[in-house]
Amino acid sequence: MDALALARRQFGVTTVYHFFFVPLTLGLSILVALVETMYVRTGDETYKRMTKFWGKLFLINRGVAMEFRSKAPGASWRAGWDWAIFAGSLIPALIFGVAVGNLLRGVPIDETKTYTGTFLGLLNPYSVVAGLTFVLLFLLHGACFLRLRVDGPVLNRVDAAVKRLWSLTVLVAVCLLAFSWKQTGLFKGGAIAFILPGLAALALVGAGLVKKPGAAFGLTAATILLLTVSAFRAMYPNVMISTLNPAWSLTIHNASSSPYTLKVMTIVACTMVPVVLLYQGWTYWIFRKRLTGATKLEY
């Protein structure tokens, strides 16, 4: 197999994983929709600018890159679009982790429900560690998925990457949990506050110890899910915690939309989520076979 054919196979597997992973876990489209909703609700132009910026990065950059990457044979053409895909993958994952970290730790919100801090203030040590943790988790999760889909020399490279990523992810995750003990309410709220992070830690450790690739993939997915659930359980009923005064925090009560809007959103979600799940399931089934050197692919 020549280098070009191998690159196309690797790209094809990565593309399938992208469509399977992003809507069901990161929910980047939902994130952009929420920021737009905040603009409509508050009238703050900052949210409008955020919608435009992140919308271009999350929703357009990757889709355009995947569509045009193989439209020309030049190596520089492909490399440029590969970097676009890389940026459109890395930055959203990092922002997701930084956002979760800031939501857990709290941000300066005044009595008018307005953020009074700076952009650099969001890049505090805790949020940066949270961002790195989720980036590494997503990398590990993606590498575990690739082990299910490739064979031969590529599989050997992926196996080596999984081992390195797992060790680094465990180290950074331990740092995050240690930070969380002092700076957040992650471990407050009874036994469940320890059970959920504990299960996440066990799943992460197990992902590096199990021999079956499918089990490792499932355990990394469970780790991401359990950490996310742990974070939002710790925040409840807050949506955004104020570090200036707890009474100024945004909650599910004072930050919710009108009953009519919630009803419409529920109907849309109940209609569209099953469609998305069916589409993702169909895509996953179509590309269910492991790729080998004899696989015939065209893009």
Which residues contact residue 141 at a Cβ distance below 8 angstroms, ignoring those fewer than 6 apart? Answer: 21, 217, 220, 221, 224
Secondary structure letter of residue 13 according to DSSP: H
**Average pLDDT for 253-270:** 81
Residue 25 has pLDDT above 70, yes or no: no
Contact 139, 89 (CB under 8 A): no
Please name which of 10, 8, 1 lies closest in space to residue 155, comparing C-alpha atoms. Answer: 10
For 251, other C-beta atoms within 10 Å of its C-beta total 14
Q: What is the pLDDT of residue 72?
A: 76
Q: What is the pLDDT of residue 23?
A: 46
Which residues contact residue 221 at a Cβ distance below 8 angstroms, ignoring those fewer than 6 apart? Answer: 25, 141
82, part of any domain: yes
Domain total for the chain?
A: 1
Residue of higher predicted confidence among 221 and 150: 221
296, part of any domain: no
195, part of any domain: yes
pTM of the entire predicted model: 0.78
Please name which of 122, 95, 128 lies closest in space to residue 26, comparing C-alpha atoms. Answer: 95
Q: What is the pLDDT of residue 24?
A: 43
Contact 98, 123 (CB under 8 A): yes
298, part of any domain: no
Q: What percent of the chain has pLDDT over 90?
A: 33
How confident is the model over 49-75, as pLDDT tens digits?
Answer: 777 776 666 656 666 676 677 777 778
Domain range holding 126?
3-286
Strands 238-240 and 250-251: antiparallel
- Distance between CA atoms of residues 275 and 298, nearest Å: 27
How confident is the model over 164-203, as pLDDT tens digits?
Answer: 999 999 999 999 999 999 889 889 888 999 999 999 999 9
Strand ranges in the chain using DSSP code E only, listed in sequence order: 238-240, 250-251
Q: What is the pLDDT of residue 20?
A: 47
Q: What is the pLDDT of residue 167?
A: 95
- Distance between CA atoms of residues 229 and 225, nearest Å: 6
292, part of any domain: no
277, part of any domain: yes
Q: What is the pLDDT of residue 54?
A: 67
299, part of any domain: no
182, part of any domain: yes
